Amino acid sequence: MSTFPKNFLWGASSSAFQIEGAWDEDGKGKTVADYNSFKRSHLQADSKVASDFYHKWKEDIDLMSELGLNIYRFSISWARIIPDGDGIVNQKGIEFYNKVIDYLYEKNITPFITLYHFDLPYALVEKYNGWESRECAYAFEKYAKICFNEFGNRVKYWQVHNEQNLMMRVDERMNIEEEDKWKADKIRAQMDYHMFLAHALAVEACHQLVENGKIGPAVSSTCTYALTNKPQDVWAAKMNDWMKTNYCLDIHFTGEYPGYYMRYLKERNIVPIMHEEDKEHLKNGKMDYIAVNYYRTLCASYLPADEENPIGSRVFRGNQVDFDQYGYCRDEKNTNLEATEYGAQIDPMGLRIVLNEYHQRYRLPMIITENGLGAADVLTEDGKIHDQYRIDYLRAHIEACSLAIEDGVNLIGYSPWSVMDLLSSHQGFKKRYGLIYIDRDDFNEKNILRIKKDSFHWYQKVIKTNGEIV
Ligand code: BG6
């Protein structure tokens, strides 16, 4: 017998700039995601066409219906609704998402919408450096209210920011071009604060404007193991989780910055400017549920800050630059785990740990909105994609969800990344996550045909049997 409750939400996920294409069609404005993808157009596909969902949305929703999805998790492009971020509303943008939402309902698929998935309208960067300004939080509130008013009669599940906790550490996502590391971190801390304020304002607005609306953050979850059982290594691993993820959930939950995070901000002398009147909003703007994005686990050893490794320094591993290390820890390889061809350490048990951990801390409903395996899939001569490795990955993680439910976790749904192949941040269409193959490569769009992968057929059975056949 399946442990998944009867009304469990089986879904699949995507985000606007990674699938829609039509980057400047029907009045859409340029976004930070477009801007950065154009900078790499010579190396990989950019957001101009992506998976062409903007033109093929009907065919794609038909496929989602065939797959049997109960929910579809996607994002609205802010710059399609308000091209310059805080000015005039673009009716064509509203019309597009209305068509998508209505057709999803026609096919019995519930929309599960993210308001902001890495694609800040670029005009706001030109105007006041985006999230560095308080104005950006108010612009976001305005945009969120438009979405709630236009779509809230049908859409009840909302996510505010996708992975604020992760995007904050990636300069490109935040459009931080400051070379000086301390100054960059000061800007980052201020941006983070404004995003928390924007989150709270959006939660308040959703509760006012959307009848029975549920809203929360989508976090990039972390589960960090200590390299050894030395107390310092254990501390480093804990700090990694607290500083990279838990601080964010704690703020959404309590409305206050936790002590361990304030201590870091103070030590580094980068405490953001906070207004007294924000306190009430932060307190009121509590999340209703947590959307969890989970791909892998991490491993850390203790790395005290010193002259060679100052706080906020970056650790270089081969060609890869790791995130800021906050002066506590260093990323390590976990030799007990296999890794994907792109280096993500595969760990279904880690998902069970994460779900239990967040359940113990917050006692809120949770849904997994991203989980998946990026691989260079091959279209074989028989016109198929035999992605058994993806099935194995998803199966093991769904089993971990089932165990977590038995542990008492209130998990309401599972929505893997991604419904279809899409524009991956640094590997374009080389690295694929989809259940549906998009027949294009980075420099040849071909006809962008849709092909069902083996994982599509497998997931179809999982949904049909409510997780009994995994
Ligand atoms: C998540 C993002 O962090 O990771 C997605 O929300 C992203 O937008 C996914 O595509 C996979 O990352 P990447 O870099 O492999 O595309």
Which of 17, 431, 379 lies closest to 387 in space, CA to CA?
A: 379
Mean pLDDT lowest among 20-24, 157-161, 341-345: 341-345
Question: In the chain, pLDDT over 70 holds for what percent of residues?
Answer: 96
Q: Which residue has the tokens 């065939």?
A: 66
Q: Which of helix, strand or coil describes residue 431?
A: coil
- CA pair distance 324, 181, nearest whole angstrom: 10
Which of 105, 80, 69 lies closest to 19 in space, CA to CA?
A: 80
| More confident site: 35 or 343 | 35
pTM higher than 0.75 for the full model? yes
Q: How many other C-beta atoms can be found within 10 angstroms of the C-beta atom of residue 97?
A: 22
Task: Look at ligand 1, atom 9, and give the residue with the nearest C-alpha.
Answer: 424
**Given the CA of residue 342, which atom of ligand 1 is nearest to it?**
15
Q: Which of 163, 172, 204, 332 is catalytic?
A: 163
Query: Which 3-state string (H, E, C) describes 340-386?
Result: CCCCCECCHHHHHHHHHHHHHHHCCCEEEEECCCCECCCCCCCCCCC
Region 100-110 average pLDDT: 98
User: pLDDT band at residue 230, thresholds of 50, 70 and 90?
Assistant: very high
Are 187 and 200 in contact, with CB atoms under 8 Å apart? no
In the prediction, which pLDDT does 341 show? Answer: 86
DSSP notation for 63-114:
HHHHHT-SEEEEE--HHHHSTTSSS---HHHHHHHHHHHHHHHHTT-EEEEE
The sign one gets for the Cα dihedral 335, 340, 345, 349 is negative
Q: CA-based Rg of the chain, rounded to a whole angstrom? A: 21
Task: Give me ligand 1 centre to Cα 92, in Å.
Answer: 28
**Given the CA of residue 162, which atom of ligand 1 is nearest to it?**
6
Region 12-17 average pLDDT: 98
Q: Which stretch of DSSP H or E encloses residue 55?
A: helix 53-67
* Lining residues, ligand 1, CB within 6 Å: 15, 18, 162-163, 166, 220, 293, 370, 374, 417, 424-426, 431
Task: Output the six-digit token pair for 130.
Answer: 């985006």
In the prediction, which pLDDT does 175 show? Answer: 87
In the prediction, which pLDDT does 406 show? Answer: 97
Beta 298-302 vs 316-317: how paired, if at all?
Answer: unpaired
Per-residue pLDDT tens over the stretch 51-66: 999 999 999 999 999 9
Task: Give me ligand 1 centre to Cα 425, in Å.
Answer: 7
In the prediction, which pLDDT does 319 show? Answer: 47
280 is catalytic: no
Max Cα-Cα span within the chain: 64
Q: Which of helix, strand or coil describes residue 201?
A: helix
Q: Quick one: how far is CA 58 from the chain centroid?
A: 24
Q: Which of 141, 172, 204, 370 is catalytic?
A: 370
Which of 186, 313, 130, 163 lies closest to 244 in space, CA to CA?
A: 163
Task: Give me ligand 1 centre to Cα 295, in Å.
Answer: 9
User: pLDDT band at residue 98, thresholds of 50, 70 and 90?
Assistant: very high
Q: Taking 70 as the threshold, does the pLDDT of residue 292 lie above it?
A: yes
Q: Which stretch of DSSP H or E encloses residue 60?
A: helix 53-67
Backbone phi, psi, residue 189, to 5°: -65, -40
Task: Output the six-digit token pair for 300.
Answer: 């850390």
211 is catalytic: no
Q: Which of helix, strand or coil describes residue 445?
A: coil
- CA pair distance 102, 97, nearest whole angstrom: 8
User: pLDDT band at residue 22, thresholds of 50, 70 and 90?
Assistant: very high
Task: Output the six-digit token pair for 11.
Answer: 């879904």
Backbone phi, psi, residue 367, to 5°: -140, 140
In the prediction, which pLDDT does 164 show? Answer: 97
> What is the distance between the terminal CA atoms of the chain, rounded to a whole angstrom?
12
| More confident site: 323 or 125 | 125
Q: Which residue has the tokens 């698929």?
A: 109
Per-residue pLDDT tens over the stretch 134-160: 999 999 999 999 999 999 999 999 999
